Each structure stands twice: as structure tokens, then as C-alpha cells.
Amino acid sequence: NAGVTQTPKFRILKIGQSMTLQCTQDMNHNYMYWYRQDPGMGLKLIYYSVGAGITDKGEVPNGYNVSRSTTEDFPLRLELAAPSQTSVYFCASSYSARGGYEQYFGPGTRLTVT
Amino acid sequence: AQSVTQLDSHVSVSEGTPVLLRCNYSSSYSPSLFWYVQHPNKGLQLLLKYTSAATLVKGINGFEAEFKKSETSFHLTKPSAHMSDAAEYFCVVSDAGGADGLTFGKGTHLIIQP
């Protein structure tokens, strides 16, 4: 059981380039999330999805886009990379958002924009 | 609105001595509370969670936490620290609200001295 997988593990982008961070889960969870983690900070929610075809903005959505065409996949798109997007990105999934269901996290993608 | 305050950014203990990581929360609803651990360059792993059942919650690797509503606290403890406990620990609150409901503390870096 792979859980939540993310690719790539590391990436260096030049300013203005674009890329897609991939996230896949095999637990048949409806809820999926993208977070960023900056040094000395907790995780900040970028976007989330409550099911295929449904996405919504989190706390820090500017500069990012998402799509959710299947239950398993939830890619995060950076269109015009900026140095402020240098961060570690985590994808997560959960069975539900209520009742204390935990979120399962992927291993993260470390992105540097120079 | 909900928020989490981890009272110490760094905690240093000697191997074999007790661990106390402090967390205070605020929530408009009956919250669910979690502690996650993040080892270097790894994703987040759930240690334990409180979901309005027993106020003393036992987790993995000998950790436990006590929910104290009167003090709005959810401190994490372990009787005897092990070198492998060195990691970043996040206190997380989820109220009864919507799908974006997780709020992370800024983390406590636990250092274990030999």
C-alpha cells in the first residue's frame, strides 16, 4: 500500500518557468490537499479538493492552480515561478474532513526557484 | 476561527529523561486535535489524535497527550526520550467546520542530548 506519493522529490526552477507537482493516493480518499512549508513555519494550505471535479482555495492560493479529474490524482501547477514559491510542498489526503479523520501526507517536494 | 500556539520553538532534553511539548489552541467548536511528527527530510506522520472521547490519548512510540478543555491545552509527553525522537513536532487543530479545517502550529524542534 503506497499511500500518498509525490513526484518529483526535488526541483530547481528558474524565475518565470512553470511546472506541475504530481500527487497520487491509493486509499480511495475523497479529500485531498496541497500545503507549503516554509522554514520555521507550520504548513499553510494552498488548495484542497473534496472530490473529483471539485476544488477550492486555501489560505495561500496565489500563483498556483489545481485540477482533480480523478479520485487518485491531484496535481499542483505553478505557472510563473517566483522566488517566493521556494518551499517544501506536501500533498495529503483524508477519508473525511470531519470527525477527526487524520490526513495522510506524502514525502514532499523540495522546490527552489532562482 | 481556530488557532494553535506551540509555546516552545525548540526543546532540548537528555536521552532517558521526560519530554514535554506544549500546545494551546482556540476553536469556536468542539475541536479535534492532533500531534504529527516530521523527521528530517520526511513527510508528516500522525502520532496521536483527540476526537472527544477519552481526554488522555495514547499514541505511537510511547507518546501521549492530555486534552484539557479548561486550559485549552493539548500538551504532548513521553516518559523517557530516545535518540530517535529527535524531530519536528506539530500540534494541529480541526474544528467541526469545513473541508479546509486543519490549522497547524509552527512546530517544536525536539533535540535529544546523548
pLDDT digits (tens, 9 = 90+) for B37-60: 999 888 899 999 998 778 899 999
CA distance B42 to chain A (A): 5
Residue B94: its pLDDT value, please?
83
pLDDT digits (tens, 9 = 90+) for A60-92: 999 999 999 999 999 999 989 999 999 999 999
Contact A105 B44 (CB under 8 A): yes
A52 three-state secondary structure: coil
**What are residue A85's phi and psi, to 5 degrees?**
-90, 5
B44 in A contact zone (CB under 8 Å): yes
3-state SS record for chain B? CCEEEECCCEEEEECCCCEEECEEEECCCCCEEEEEEECCCCCEEEEEEECCCCCEEECHHHCEEEEECCCCEEEEEECCCCHHHCEEEEEEEECCCCCCCEEECCCEEEEEEC
- Provide the mean pLDDT of chain A: 93
Q: In 3D, which of A46, A39, A44 has the Cα closest to residue A23?
A: A46
**B76, B23 contact by CB (below 8 A):** yes
**B5, A73 contact by CB (below 8 A):** no
pLDDT digits (tens, 9 = 90+) for B64-112: 999 999 999 999 999 999 999 999 999 998 865 555 668 899 999 999 9
Which residues on B lie below 8 Å from A88 (Cβ)?
Answer: none
Q: In 3D, which of A84, A79, A56 has the Cα closest to residue A68?
A: A56
pLDDT digits (tens, 9 = 90+) for B10-20: 999 999 999 99
Contact A43 B90 (CB under 8 A): yes
CB-CB: which of B32, B49, B104 is closest to A42?
B104
